[in-house]
Amino acid sequence: MPNTKPRILNDWKDLIWSLLPLVLICLVIAGIASQCTFTTGGPTQGQIPKFDAHASLTEDARKLGFPIREPALPADWTPNSGGHDPIAGAATSTVGYITPQGSYMRLTQSVATEEALAKDVVGTRYATGTEQIGDRKWVVYAEPGTEPAWITDLGAVRILVKGAGNRGAFVTLATAVGAAQPLPAR
């Protein structure tokens, strides 16, 4: 019979020595399967997905039945996503952009009311301030711990700008969409 300790005498050191071979085996298997990499210097930005914002917004202008604007953004703003998720039953057109600083900014155009946009996208109905960008007043919705959103009313459509960008990113996007003319509904 092997010389073993009674279970009552086992402690944390015995647990470590028991688990160490299992951890090493798992690391070897993960390394062989190329599922584990070790890097220094922190995370790196991956490839930004390609998205044709012009084609998407042009198609939305044709299909959705309300004025859609295509903002003329700086060349270093990269469109990376788009969608049509309705808000409060109202049609929407959304395009996402990555700023030069790597922040995501969302542009949503909708016939939904300002209140519906704020509640659905930000989670609140209460404005926390306003921003005057050019001749347009933007209502600011900002809750602690969430990304802020700016909303403006262009008559037949409401524009929502939301994201993780700094104030400069909001101003750039708000200025560009405010200056844009509606695309032809062809």
What CATH number does the domain containing 124 carry?
3.30.200.100
Structure tokens at 80: 């990376």
Domain match, 87 and 28 both: no
CB 92 within 8 A of CB 110: yes
pLDDT tens by residue, the chain, 186 residues: 566 777 777 787 877 888 888 888 888 887 777 665 666 665 666 778 889 999 999 999 999 999 999 999 999 999 999 999 898 889 999 999 999 999 999 999 999 999 999 989 888 778 999 999 999 999 999 888 889 999 999 999 999 999 999 999 999 999 999 999 999 987
CB 182 within 8 A of CB 61: yes
The answer to whether position 185 is within a domain reads: no
The answer to whether position 47 is within a domain reads: no
The answer to whether position 110 is within a domain reads: yes
Q: What is the pLDDT of residue 93?
A: 96
Domain match, 77 and 24 both: no
Report the C-alpha gap between 117 and 132 in whole angstroms.
19
Q: What is the pLDDT of residue 175?
A: 97
Report the C-alpha gap between 79 and 53 in whole angstroms.
6
Q: What are the φ/ψ torsions at residue 164 (nearest 5 degrees)? A: -95, 5
Q: What is the pLDDT of residue 149?
A: 95
CA distances (Å), 71 to each of 13, 54, 115, 146, in order?
A: 63, 10, 24, 25
Q: What is the pLDDT of residue 14?
A: 79
Domain match, 126 and 157 both: yes
Strands 136-141 and 104-110: unpaired
Q: What is the pLDDT of residue 38?
A: 62
CA distances (Å), 123 to each of 128, 149, 160, in order?
A: 13, 10, 13
Report the C-alpha gap between 168 and 12 in whole angstroms.
54
Mapping DSSP to helix (H, G, I), strand (E, B) and coil, where does residue 182 land? strand
Domain match, 32 and 80 both: no
Q: What is the pLDDT of residue 82?
A: 95
Report the C-alpha gap between 95 and 113 in whole angstroms.
19
Q: What is the pLDDT of residue 2?
A: 65
Q: What is the pLDDT of residue 35?
A: 60
What domain range is 26 assigned to?
Answer: 8-38
pTM for the model stands at 0.75
Q: What is the pLDDT of residue 37?
A: 63
Strands 92-98 and 78-83: antiparallel
CB 134 within 8 A of CB 179: yes
Residue written as token pair 């922040």: 103
